[in-house]
Amino acid sequence: MSQDVGGMPPPEGVTPDFDGSSPLQKSIVVIYSCTFAVATILLMLRLYTGIVIVRKLDWDIPLIILSWGGSMGFFIGVMLAIPSGFGKHLWDVRATSLTGYFQLLLVLGLTYVWPPTLAKLAILVLYYRLIPNRGFRWAIYGTAAGLIIYTIVFTILLAWPCHPLKPGTTACVVNLTVSQGVLNIVSDAIVIVLPIPLIHRLNMPLRQRMTAGLLLALGSAVVVVSCIRFGYVRKMENNPDVTWTQASTSQWSCIEMNTGIICNCLAHLKPFVRKHLPCLSRFVTRGSSNMSHPTNRSQGRSHKWRGDKASHKYELHSVGRAQQPYHEDNKPGIVVVDEVQVEFTPTKDNGDTSSTDDILRNTR
């Protein structure tokens, strides 16, 4: 029957299976479900930490929420594309189903382009808040501009010149995917390496260094995933079995997108850990906690400094013979008094209002 003609001839000795599912399709669903579930849980914890514990939402929250939304949109597109042959060999896909597949391919491309960029922009916002160095902030501006520009360019190219439904655009889509893979790896590496020189110069306790190193190591996992994905992207070149090769790449796209969200959320969960997992918090923050807040010894509790107000005052005194050292002419002298006034106010225990920001702060 004509409706049972595959998208390409099968290899010799292979019988097409138009109605069954493939192991790759099942693998994509399992991998995405697991990684997206972890990303969603951590995002909820991030929002809980900001709203309930810290009572402050940072500027990177909208970026990471948009990244999460893009990842969810990508998965919805995958689930809609699977009945059209996504994740099966092209000879197992009816030719009549390919139109629906190529229509959804544009959705998959657009929903993949933005989530990694938004996650990296959210990390740059965190860097900007933590490190006020002027040169470092100019580097952040340049990196953010590069991310936004190349993502917009890829979006325009995919939506118009390389639109999957246009005839003869297969090579254009593949070249676009390869170029994006290269730039994703480069930008991931830049975002990870960017703060290392400044962190190295900070005089932080060992445990804070370990925490910062762990966060950077988690970020490096995104680079590793991007490199693995790029290996699958290269297999798309000169391979007509597009429904299989693109699906093989997409499972690593799922991991890449959700890992970026996971790393970003983990970097902000220190107040949550301190409040609900105090044993783990003591391991991470010991060595800096005693230096963060001065202690009132008479009351046996710590206070948060409101500010140090120092005033310098010069007073004239009559120098008595019995009270002061001998002056040459035994005449009135001038005594310079440097008076320092320190004010502090006790803080109420309304919850942990600190944040993960002090991971990278100099506690000296």
pLDDT tens sequence for the chain (364 residues): 456 899 999 999 999 999 999 999 999 999 999 999 999 999 999 999 999 999 999 999 999 999 999 999 999 999 999 999 999 999 999 999 998 999 999 999 999 999 999 999 999 999 999 888 999 999 999 999 999 999 999 999 999 999 988 888 989 999 999 999 999 999 999 999 999 888 888 777 777 777 777 778 878 889 999 999 999 999 998 899 999 999 999 999 999 999 999 999 998 998 999 999 988 766 555 544 443 443 443 344 433 333 344 444 444 444 444 444 544 455 555 555 555 555 444 444 444 545 555 555 544 4
pLDDT at position 192, please?
92
pLDDT at position 282, please?
67
pLDDT at position 61, please?
96
pLDDT at position 130, please?
86
pLDDT at position 319, please?
45
Angle subtended at Cα 15 by Cα 11 and Cα 17, rounded to the nearest 5 degrees:
115
Structure tokens at 334: 């001038």
Domains in the chain and their CATH numbers?
2-281 (1.20.1070)
Whole-angstrom Cα distance, residue 336 to residue 181?
69
pLDDT at position 205, please?
78
- At residue 315, φ and ψ (nearest 5 deg) are -120, 145
Buried b (16+ CB within 10 A) or exposed e, 300-330: eeeeeeeeeeeeeeeeeeeeeeeeeeeeeee
Predicted model pTM: 0.78
Contacts of 282 (CB under 8 A, 6+ apart): none
If phi > 0 it is left, if psi is from -120 to 50 it is alpha, else beta; for residue 346 that is beta
Contacts of 319 (CB under 8 A, 6+ apart): 327, 332, 333, 335
